[in-house]
C-alpha cells in the first residue's frame, strides 16, 4: 500500500463515540418551573468533537455537561466564527424518541460552517451524535410516561483556537447540548388575557436590516443574531413580540424574528386563496426546515378542497412588499398569517405594526381550525409518532428490562 504523503483528514464519525457518564445527575426540572423557563438548564451530558486543520475530526465524546474553557484570544470571541442549529427531540405517544428531518439540520449546519470558514462535515453524522446523547439522557429527561414532552437541542460549532490573527480557523469545536424548553402550546396565561392570541410583529424601520444580498442571512450564524437584538428590544418595549424584517426600498417582507413568515390571503384578481411566503432566491432568508415542511404539506394536502373542510390554497413562493399586506388588509382579503420555526413551531400572527398603522391579521372563527392549526396538527402527528412518516427519525434506545 502506498503511504500517503499528505495527511488525510479524519471525517466526522459518530460510531466511534466515547461515552463518559456523570456520577452526579441533576434534578430534572418540572414543566413551567423557573429552571425550565430560564432556557439555560441543560441535561446531564453533552457531545463534544474537536477538529483541527491537521487531523480533521477527532473522536466524538458524550461527557458530563460542563462549562467550556477557551482562550480569551479564541477566534469565536472576536470574529464571530460560530454557527448553530435549533432542533428538538420528541417523546412520542408510542414511547419512542424522534427527531424531525435531522439531515436537513445537519446539512444546513455544514453549509453555515462553510460560510463562516468553519469545517464542513458528513452531515448524516449529526443525527447519530444526537442519538448517542439521547441514549444516555433520554430515559430520565424525557421519560416514556410523558408523551409530547421534548427537549430543545443546540448543536453549535465554534472556532476555539488561540490564534488572535484575522485568519481562517485551524481549530474548532462542535458541541451539542439539550435544554428543557417551555412548551409554546402550554404557555402561561397572557399578560393581557383579553388580547387576541397570536404574535404581534413590528415591521423593521428602513434604517435597520437583518441581511443583505451577498451577506449571510441564509446561514445560521451567531453573527446574524447579536446585531438584531436591538430591534427586537424596540419591539418588546412597544409590547410587541418579534420584528418583521423588511428589506430594500420596496420594503420586501423576509422573515419574522427567528421564524419564517406566511400569509394566507385572497388573490384580488383570481379570487382564489393563496398561501404565500417569500422565496429564498437572494439568500436573505434562513431556509427553515419547518418552512420547507409547511410548503410541502400544504402543496400535498391543501391544494384541493379536502382537508378538514378548509378551502384549497395555492402555495406561492415569491417576493412581496409590506405594501401588498397593507392593501390586502384594507380590502379585507387577509385570511390568516403565521410564522414557522423549530423553537416556537407554527404560531399565528395577530397584528403587524408598520409605523403608525396596526394591521389586524384575520384569524379563524372561534371553534374553527384554520390553516396554521391544521398544519400544526399534521406536523405534530409526525413528530410525536401518531403518523408514520419518512420525516421522522426514530432514535433506538436500549430496551429496559
Ligand atoms: C432558525 C431560524 C428559522 C427557522 O428555521 P427552522 O429550521 O424551521 O427552525 C427561521 N428564521 C431564522 C432567522 C432562524 O434563525
| Top mutation candidate among 84, 257, 286 for ligand 1, by most atoms within 8 Å of CB | 286
Which superfamily, per CATH, for 199-384?
A: D-amino Acid Aminotransferase, subunit A, domain 2 (3.20.10.10)
Is residue 322 over pLDDT 50? yes
Is residue 112 over pLDDT 50? yes
Is residue 190 over pLDDT 60? no
Choose the CATH number for 18-182 among 3.20.20.100, 3.30.470.10, 1.20.1250.20, 3.60.10.10.
Answer: 3.30.470.10
Please tell me the distance from the alpha carbon of residue 262 to that of residue 349, in angstroms, as a whole number: 9
- pLDDT at residue 89, as a whole number: 98
Is residue 205 over pLDDT 90? yes
Tell me the CA–centroid distance for residue 13 and ligand 1, in Å: 26
CA distances from 242 to 6, 58, 206, 207, 323 (A): 50, 40, 16, 17, 19
Is residue 306 over pLDDT 70? no
User: DSSP label at 135?
Assistant: H
- What pLDDT, in 10s, does the model give residues 147-162? 999 999 999 999 999 9
Report the first-to-last Cα separation within the chain, whole angstroms: 48
Tell me the CA–centroid distance for residue 331 and ligand 1, in Å: 31
pLDDT band, very low/low/confident/very high, at 401 (cuts 50, 70, 90): very low
Q: Is 254 in the pocket of ligand 1 (CB under 6 A)?
A: no
Q: Is 255 in the pocket of ligand 1 (CB under 6 A)?
A: yes
Tell me the CA–centroid distance for residue 41 and ligand 1, in Å: 22
Residues 221-246, mean pLDDT to the nearest whole number: 96
Q: Is 286 in the pocket of ligand 1 (CB under 6 A)?
A: yes
Please state, rounded to an integer, the average pLDDT across all residues of the chain. 93
Ligand 1 atom closest to 260 (CA): 10
Cα 1 to chain centroid distance, Å, stands at 46
Phi and psi at residue 19, to the nearest 5°: -115, 125
Domain residue ranges of the chain, discontinuous segments joined by +: 18-182, 199-384
Instruction: Work out whether the CA dihedral 129, 35, 82, 90 comes out positive or negative.
Output: positive
Is residue 5 over pLDDT 60? no
- What pLDDT, in 10s, does the model give residues 38-84? 989 999 999 999 999 999 999 999 999 999 999 999 999 999 999 99
Amino acid at each position: 500500500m502506498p503511504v500517503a504523503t499528505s495527511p488525510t483528514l479524519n471525517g466526522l464519525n459518530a460510531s466511534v463515540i466515547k461515552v463518559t457518564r456523570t456520577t452526579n445527575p441533576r434534578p430534572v426540572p418540572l414543566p413551567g418551573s423557573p429552571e425550565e423557563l430560564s432556557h439555560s438548564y441543560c441535561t446531564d451530558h453533552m457531545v463534544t468533537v474537536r477538529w483541527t486543520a491537521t487531523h480533521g475530526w477527532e473522536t466524538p465524546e458524550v461527557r458530563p455537561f460542563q462549562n467550556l474553557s477557551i482562550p480569551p484570544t479564541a477566534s469565536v470571541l472576536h470574529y464571530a466564527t460560530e454557527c448553530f442549529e435549533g432542533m428538538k427531540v420528541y417523546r412520542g405517544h408510542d414511547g419512542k424518541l424522534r427527531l424531525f428531518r435531522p439531515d436537513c439540520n445537519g446539512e444546513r449546519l455544514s453549509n453555515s460552517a462553510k460560510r463562516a470558514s468553519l469545517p464542513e462535515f458528513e452531515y448524516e453524522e449529526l443525527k447519530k451524535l444526537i442519538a448517542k446523547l439521547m441514549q444516555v439522557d433520554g430515559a430520565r429527561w424525557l421519560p416514556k410516561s410523558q408523551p409530547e414532552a421534548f427537549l430543545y437541542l443546540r448543536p453549535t460549532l465554534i472556532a476555539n483556537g488561540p490564534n488572535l490573527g484575522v485568519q481562517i480557523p485551524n481549530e474548532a469545536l462542535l458541541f451539542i447540548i439539550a435544554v428543557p424548553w417551555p412548551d409554546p402550546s402550554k404557555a402561561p396565561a397572557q399578560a393581557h388575557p383579553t388580547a387576541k392570541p397570536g404574535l404581534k410583529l413590528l415591521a423593521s424601520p428602513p434604517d435597520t436590516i437583518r441581511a443583505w444580498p451577498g451577506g449571510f442571512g441564509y446561514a445560521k450564524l451567531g453573527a446574524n443574531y447579536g446585531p438584531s437584538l436591538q430591534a427586537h428590544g424596540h419591539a418588546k418595549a412597544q409590547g410587541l413580540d418579534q420584528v418583521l424584517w423588511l428589506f430594500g426600498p420596496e420594503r420586501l417582507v423576509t422573515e419574522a424574528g427567528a421564524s419564517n413568515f406566511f400569509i394566507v390571503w385572497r388573490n384580488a384578481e383570481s379570487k382564489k386563496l393563496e398561501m404565500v411566503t417569500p422565496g429564498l432566491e437572494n439568500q436573505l432568508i434562513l431556509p427553515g426546515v419547518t418552512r420547507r415542511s409547511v410548503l410541502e404539506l400544504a402543496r400535498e394536502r391543501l391544494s384541493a378542497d379536502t382537508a378538514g373542510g378548509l378551502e384549497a390554497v395555492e402555495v406561492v413562493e415569491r417576493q412581496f412588499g409590506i405594501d401588498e399586506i397593507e392593501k390586502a388588509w384594507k380590502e379585507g382579503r387577509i385570511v390568516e398569517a403565521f410564522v414557522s420555526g423549530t423553537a416556537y413551531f407554527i404560531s399565528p400572527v395577530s397584528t403587524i405594526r408598520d409605523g403608525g398603522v396596526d394591521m389586524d391579521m384575520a384569524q379563524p372563527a372561534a371553534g374553527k381550525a384554520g390553516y396554521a392549526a391544521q398544519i400544526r396538527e399534521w406536523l405534530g402527528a409526525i413528530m410525536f409518532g401518531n403518523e408514520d412518516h419518512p420525516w421522522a427519525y426514530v432514535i433506538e434506545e436500549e430496551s429496559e428490562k
